Chain A
Amino acid sequence: MAVDYLNDLISIVGKENVLTSEISLDTYKYDAGLIYGNPDVVVFVENEEQIASLLKFANSRKIPLVPRGNGMGLSGGTVAQLGGIVMVMTRLNKILEVDPENRVAVVQPGVTNMEVQKAVAPYGLVYMPDPASQKVSTMGGNLGENAGGMRGIKYGVTKDHIIGAEVILTNGETVQIGGKLEPIAQELNLNLLLQQSEGTLCVATKIYLKLSPAPKAQRTMLSIYKTLEDAGKAVSAIIAKGIIPCTLELMDNKVINAVEEWLHIGLPVHAGAVLLIEVDGWDVGLDRQAQQIVDICKEVGALEVKLARNEKERADLWVARRMSIGAMGRMRPNYDMEDATVPRNKLPEIFKYVTSLSEETNIPIGMLAHAGDGNLHPLVLFDERDEDEMRRVQYIRDKLFRKAIELGGTLSGEHGVGLGKLEFLNLAISKEYLKYMRAERLAFDPNEILNRGKTVPDPAA
């Protein structure tokens, strides 16, 4: 679509930061998922003044605007399905402050999660959330989606570790939300509403992160099961014993084989599934905790439990987990990483169900799960060009989300609603609740310029 406001944008950010070539628009038409939509124009912003002016301008003309980190989202959160402006935030990439003793870092939104980790590690600190995409995904995007990670079960997710933000509203005004201090003032805690709001309320330009002392030691193990369901059963058994590991990740046979074929780590290729389990804390006592877990795993049907004996073995196990999405991606032209949650003790049931869906549709599905959180990521493999396959993939998605809700779960544990889950939203969110959330959204962004049509859509539209 031809844009009649290019000069306005140029006057805000300069000519070199306004992109309209076909190739640029194509580059910014998707995120890491499968939903596409061309923006009319891509704008790179460099500072708060530009963002404020741009928002004010878009607001005055009611032009839809999509704030974009690194586009690693998986629910279409950065897709400009209605055209308009994509605002790229990655040049706001400074770590503004690391305050080690107060355990706070202040960063710009375009900083990646990994850059934060590197900046705080020398102080013996960590920023706990560590999404698999951490090398690329930005803190703005992590906040927008409430990204999870591999140690959520013990340490929580993004929203447990972001304590404030400076944000710009669509009227161009800057406000400070939350901050370094304990929230003692008699005021609504808007920081809590900002988390996981998927860029539909305001644009974060500074983010306050809570840092934690790095755990002193770990014990890592791989628990091997004959079937996927057996592994699922072990998950709640472990937690029920009162030991909360920091990591409890699951990979099924397809994932194991994909990784093994690629990286030759020595994973048990005949296993139905494995659990990657880690406990951490002070060194003393970890051996006993690890042994307790080994015993429980065996009690509830593990074929074998291997404890990593050295740093190399531990690193190998982690490589296997961190590379598993990529490994699965090599198997077919496309993959869709689904995201749903169920109460932990329903994992065996939903695993069984997904297996049956795969058999029924003849579509391969690998299973990855942040099992301790009841968060499953079935990896559905297909070829986008094959219409019939696409229909079957859609069938799988539809069945999967219905089942998750039926079991007391949710449509998404960490990838968000965006555009990708809109068609299922009514399964999970009543129209009364949607009305409430829309009131909140419109209080921030009355013209709905930010990520219009996503997350909390206008039912009338």
Chain B
Amino acid sequence: MRQETINALQKIVGENNCKTDEAIRRQHGYSDTAIPDVVVYPQNSQQVADIVKVAYNEGIPVVPWGAGTKARIGLLPQTGGIAVNMTGMNQIVEYDYENQTAYVEAGISYKALQEVLITHNLFWPVEPIESDDCTVGGILVSNAAGPTKLGYGDVKHHLLGLEMVTPTGDIINPGGKTVKNVQDYDNTRFMVGSWGSLGIITKVMLKLKPMPEKETTVFLTFNDIESAYAAVRTIRNETTPLALEMMDNVAMSVMAKSGFNSGGNGVGVMFLYSGFIEQVDVMVDYVQKKFNSAVVLDEKATATAWQARQQMFPVFAGQRGAILATVAVPFTALGRFMRQARAELDKNRKGAAMVAHAGNGQIHVLLDQSPEAYAGVQEIVNRLASLASDVDGLLVVNNITDMTLTRRWVEGRGRAMIDLMARIKSGVDPHHIMAPNSKVLSYVLNGTKAVS
């Protein structure tokens, strides 16, 4: 990168907030070699806009960066360009508890946010599986969600508006503050899962919820996937759980490593009821009558169990690293898929674990292989992918750089699809500078190689 460009960036954010030392660049990189040329820490939206304008004029890639917890999942390695670290923008601009909204800067951490919200008995009902450091902006663009998305919905359901910087350096305000609003295209939600490719989110208007009166977690253990899935069906179809998770026996042993012992061996089903006291109680009674082995977890066990669930991937991955694949199938095919997939894994990947947001028909397959060595599991991944497609489902691999399966899926949407996506990207980002290494559009674009 030219020194003049770096000078221009320094002028915008100040010398202290513009870093070129290698250690910091590495923290914002994807591998030992693929690192940005410079990392900037803007303190307000105008600075973000000015940074993007510089990049726009010079055709330099800009990659917004939150806590970096998901970079591997959403971004491809890229050498050079500007990393825009948003964590300096971490203020709550307005907490309007009467209207149950909060307007926050995108770099605020999840934990810091919830700590403030709870002071008025409200919370943001999004529950990323990542660590507490992850930022609101990062959660939004990565569409991060956890088990409670079954009942609460995912990130898009808890947003009302945005302030964002477009790839041409304009500051715009999609959405607003009211829960109903049809005066624009719904760009607020469209940014969910966009991985920075359409602009940099600088502020977010969050829709909040009152804390529930009561929450109860129930745990069931079964000998096999089939009987666990039968229970899952009963629970989902006859009650209204907020979360409904299923862990195969390997996944259960991972939870045991984090300190959660279900007391039984086998396949676990963990579910959560939330809401008004009587309604929670009546549902818990109901499942206890249906399943006399149901264990209602006490406060301590509940915390341990959900913590262990949350830590599943990092604990499984350990030092070695792991490959994460995600599968979506119709709910009715979940049991069949998991059974067949487990049989397949037992043949030559006994160490792989499966854990499902069962109520949503979504399964994570954790493969004991480092992402760099994807070739070693490619064959089994392909077999699982075809099992998924046999039941009209889909498998994607999250933390590798090979986009073949995704591209095939998107092409299956219609031959005009890739072209349509490319036109959207080029329309809003004519110089293709905004997170050009973002996976969501990587297979769509040509000639967007990083400039250094």
Contact residues of B with A, CB < 8 Å? 74, 96-101, 121, 143, 153, 156-157, 166, 170-174, 176-187, 189-190, 192-195, 197-198, 209-211, 213, 233, 237, 240, 275-279, 281-283, 326-332, 357, 360-362, 392-394, 396, 398, 403, 406, 409-410, 412-417, 420-421, 423-424, 426-428, 439-441
Contact = CB atoms under 8 A, between A and B. Distances in A.
Contact of B416 (A171, A197, A345, A373): A171
A415 B180 CA distance: 11
Interface string A119-156: 00000000000000000000000000110100011001
Contact of B362 (A182, A190, A408, A439): A182
A-B interface, 10 closest residue pairs, ranked by CB to CB distance from nearest: A285-B278, A175-B414, A242-B210, A173-B416, A439-B427, A413-B180, A432-B170, A443-B423, A181-B328, A341-B178
A169 B420 contact: yes
B439 A181 contact: no
Interface in A40-58: none
A265 B176 CA distance: 39
Contacts of B420: 169, 175, 190, 443-444
A82 B30 CA distance: 52
B237 A430 contact: no
Given A180-B330, A413-B180, A432-B170, A345 B98 contact: yes
Contacts of A236: 98-99
A363 B320 CA distance: 74
Contact of A175 (B98, B210, B392, B417): B417
Contacts of A433: 170, 172-174, 184
A101 interface: yes
A29 B272 CA distance: 53
A181 B180 contact: no
A239 B97 CA distance: 10
A188 B172 CA distance: 20
A410 B176 CA distance: 7
Contacts of A284: 278-279, 281-282
A437 B180 contact: no
29 contacts: A101-B332, A102-B330, A102-B331, A148-B180, A183-B193, A184-B328, A184-B362, A184-B394, A185-B406, A188-B421, A188-B424, A189-B189, A195-B186, A196-B185, A196-B186, A197-B185, A244-B209, A284-B279, A285-B278, A288-B278, A343-B177, A408-B176, A412-B181, A416-B182, A417-B183, A425-B183, A428-B176, A436-B172, A444-B424
B181 A413 contact: yes
A166 B246 CA distance: 32
B180 A152 contact: yes
Nearest to A240: B98
A184 B177 CA distance: 28
Contacts of A343: 96, 99, 101, 177-178
A285 B276 CA distance: 7
Contacts of A145: 182
A315 interface: no
Given A146-B186, A409-B176, A410-B181, 5 more contacts: A101-B237, A236-B98, A285-B276, A288-B276, A410-B182
A174 B172 contact: no
Contacts of A193: 185-187, 190
B378 to A, nearest CB: 17
Interface string A284-324: 11001100000000000000000000000000000000000
Nearest to B189: A192
Contact of A410 (B96, B183, B195, B423): B183
A159 B416 contact: no
A233 to B, nearest CB: 11
Interface size class of chain A, counting residues whose CB lies under 8 Å from the partner chain? 35 or more
B156 to A, nearest CB: 6
Interface in A345-377: 345, 370, 373-375
A3 B247 CA distance: 65
A40 B398 CA distance: 51
A187 B186 contact: no
B390 to A, nearest CB: 14
Given A181-B328, A443-B427, A285 B277 contact: yes
Nearest to B157: A160
A436 B190 contact: no
B443 to A, nearest CB: 9
B413 A175 contact: yes
B15 to A, nearest CB: 30
A413 to B, nearest CB: 4
A181 to B, nearest CB: 4
A160 B210 contact: no
B433 to A, nearest CB: 15
Contacts of B192: 189, 192
Contacts of A226: none
A153 B100 CA distance: 12
A94 interface: no
A158 to B, nearest CB: 10
A187 B440 CA distance: 4
A256 interface: no
A375 B424 contact: no
Given A175-B413, A186-B396, A433-B174, A181 B185 contact: no
Contacts of A183: 143, 193, 328
A409 B178 contact: yes
B185 A375 contact: no
Contacts of B282: 282, 284-285
A437 B427 CA distance: 9
A402 interface: no
A281 B170 contact: no
A242 B276 CA distance: 10
A244 B187 CA distance: 26
Contacts of A429: 183-184
Nearest to B172: A433
A228 interface: no
A430 B393 contact: no
A343 B101 CA distance: 9
Given A189-B192, A285-B278, A173 B183 contact: no
Contacts of A182: 328, 357, 360-362
Contacts of B421: 187-188
A135 B82 CA distance: 54
Nearest to B238: A213
Given A185-B394, A197-B185, A284-B278, A414 B413 contact: no
Contact of B166 (A102, A417, A432): A432
A189 B187 CA distance: 11
Given A145-B182, A153-B179, A430-B172, A159 B189 contact: yes
Nearest to B121: A242
A282 B392 CA distance: 34
Given A183-B143, A343-B101, A442 B410 contact: no
B183 A411 contact: yes
A157 interface: yes
Contacts of A458: none
A185 B406 CA distance: 6
Interface in A232-273: 236, 239-240, 242-244
A221 interface: no
Contacts of B412: 176
